[in-house]
Amino acid sequence: MSRVLEDYEKLKGRGKDLRLLSSVSMLLEWDQETFMPKDGIDFRSSQVELITSLLHKEKTSPEYKNALEKLIDLESGEIKSDALDGRKKASLREFRSDFLKETKLPSAFVKKLAKATSQGVNAWQHAKKDNNFEAFLPHLKEIVALHKEKADHLGYDAHPYDALLDLYEPGMTSKKLDSLFGELKPFLNSLAKKLSQKREKTAFLSANYPLDEQQKFNHFLLEKMGVDLNRARLDFSAHPFCTGFNPHDVRFTTFTSTTSFFNSIFAVLHEGGHALYELGLPYEDLGTPLADACSLGVHESQSRWWECFIGQGRPLWEFAFPHLEKAFPKQLEGVTLDHFINAINHVEPSLIRVYADEVTYILHIIIRYEIEKEFITGSIDLADLPRIWNEKMEESLGIVPNTDADGCLQDIHWAFGLIGYFPTYALGNLYSGQIFKTFTQTFPDYATSIAGGDLAFIQKFLHEKIHRHGREFHSLELIENATGSPLSPKPYMDYLKSKY
């Protein structure tokens, strides 16, 4: 083996140890949300803290830096040998980027931010419960101030918001978002107005479905999707999530309620989409960024793909609805396929983001994006947030919340210190829309295949186009490679137009 390949393997070995350790942290958190007895929480928090500090120590150690510097100039990003192939070069670019992100923030600042968000989450929980924005305001002020500082530490070219955005969606900028959202906003706004109607009576959605029967049907869907249960498992938790310890061990969850089976089905499809991505990452590259997901936006594209593009589509249910009827004949008595499809594709502006339909969803994100930018530029008084929120809701969705709990206090993200994160939810839908266009062109008979119960080709297609690449390309490049065109909101808009 050449010297440079040896150095690369050594770096990968260090990365593998980091992955072993970060996956331990994921297991601690997964267990906390699924099975941990409730009194275990204090000890568990200390465990997570310890592993996090061990990780940070190793990621910023002189030995790790030295292993990196043998291969890439940390200052300029220049790769020190031409002997490496393109994938390995991309891998080094991402190795460096992670290292810089890890080391740019002074540890005193990291601790300060951790404390502020820990207290922030606690204050937010009470403020939301008591509908008391004033109680959360001082915490929000501190968290926002620290994020301005964070942007300065991280550095940026055009806009300080880009520094934060880049943590979740590398390569994305507010300039690009302004352009994408500028085109989407009026379109979605007018489509929502056109489609909006009161929901029909849909008692079957909230009927009683025994949990073990739900799980049987959920597993039937997962098997069809191609989720390999020798490498993944589905459990229950209060909030559905997916965590990939490694491509041979992926955990995800759904809701545990007998009366919201359809929320659970769409959570299973959503988290199952995330799971398929994690399962499709290249195990042989474990220890390097090539075995990581590209970005949060691309991750979201995979979950929304299965939840909306496939999951809310007619073809899937032409095949699956008879199975559903057979498993739940009483609950679905008198419900036709048309009725069912209508019910799961109902469009109506609503107050809460996480329950929004696929037409209005992005409007919720744009509101948050506009506000976050103003957080960072300091152009609004945070005390005015409730008023600003409600004005934007009125303008975008034509409805206004009665309480801040259903308004600007609804999401945990800001309390948690996730500023710059919301746009990835919108991007996921746009990426998915563009991939879907390519998919329908590649498989003109896709609807017939799916309606016939063949879904295996979908997972293969996504694996080929997205999963196997890990972080070799940034999201915009990955989407362009996958679809032959630069990112545009058009395919998503066309998808909605043709569907509704």
List active site positions: 271
Q: Which of 69, 130, 178, 235 binds its own copies (CB under 8 A)?
A: 235
Classify residue 259 by its DSSP letter: T
Cβ distance to its own copies smaller for residue 21 or 105 = 21
Under the binding rule (CB under 8 A), the answer on residue 238 touching its own copies is no
Which residues fall within 8 angstroms of residue 153, CB to CB, at 6 or more apart?
104, 105, 106, 109
Q: Coil, strand, or helix at residue 59?
A: helix
Q: Which of 197, 230, 379, 498 binds its own copies (CB under 8 A)?
A: 230
CA distance 449 to 181: 34
Least distance from C-beta 249 to its own copies, angstroms? Answer: 3
Under the binding rule (CB under 8 A), the answer on residue 219 touching its own copies is no
Q: Coil, strand, or helix at residue 398?
A: coil
Under the binding rule (CB under 8 A), the answer on residue 232 touching its own copies is yes
Contacts with its own copies in 246-305 (CB under 8 A)? 246, 248-250, 286
Give me the residues paired with residue 236 across strands.
254
Q: Is the dihedral of CA 475, 266, 32, 116 positive or negative?
A: positive
Cβ distance to its own copies smaller for residue 112 or 231 = 231
CB 448 within 8 A of CB 395: no
- Which range touches its own copies (CB under 8 A), out of 31-39, 123-131, 332-340, 405-413? 31-39
Under the binding rule (CB under 8 A), the answer on residue 211 touching its own copies is no
Radius of gyration of the chain (CA): 23
Angle at 232 between CA 229 and CA 234, to 5 degrees: 90
Cβ distance to its own copies smaller for residue 291 or 359 = 291
Least distance from C-beta 29 to its own copies, angstroms? Answer: 11
Cβ distance to its own copies smaller for residue 46 or 442 = 46
Least distance from C-beta 46 to its own copies, angstroms? Answer: 6
Q: Which of 6, 9, 31, 454 binds its own copies (CB under 8 A)?
A: 31
CA distance 164 to 83: 34
Least distance from C-beta 210 to its own copies, angstroms? Answer: 11
Measured in whole angstroms, how far is the alpha carbon of residue 123 from the centre of its chain? Answer: 25
Contacts with its own copies in 38-57 (CB under 8 A)? 38-40, 42-44, 46-47, 50-51, 54
Cβ distance to its own copies smaller for residue 24 or 399 = 24
Least distance from C-beta 68 to its own copies, angstroms? Answer: 20
Under the binding rule (CB under 8 A), the answer on residue 23 touching its own copies is yes
- Distances in Å between the Cα of 325 and the Cα atoms of 124, 287, 329 are 42, 45, 5
Give the interface size with its own copies as a residue count (CB under 8 A).
36
Residue in this structure with the two tokens 């959360």, named with its chain if needed: 136
CA distance 379 to 382: 9
- Which range touches its own copies (CB under 8 A), out of 100-108, 245-253, 297-305, 438-446? 245-253
CB 227 within 8 A of CB 269: no
- The string of DSSP letters for 80-118 reads S-TTS-HHHHHHHHHHHHHHHHHHHS-HHHHHHHHHHHH
Least distance from C-beta 236 to its own copies, angstroms? Answer: 12
Tokens representing 149 are 């500082």
Contact footprint for its own copies (CB under 8 A): 16-17, 20-21, 23-24, 27-28, 31, 35-40, 42-44, 46-47, 50-51, 54, 228-233, 235, 245-246, 248-250, 286
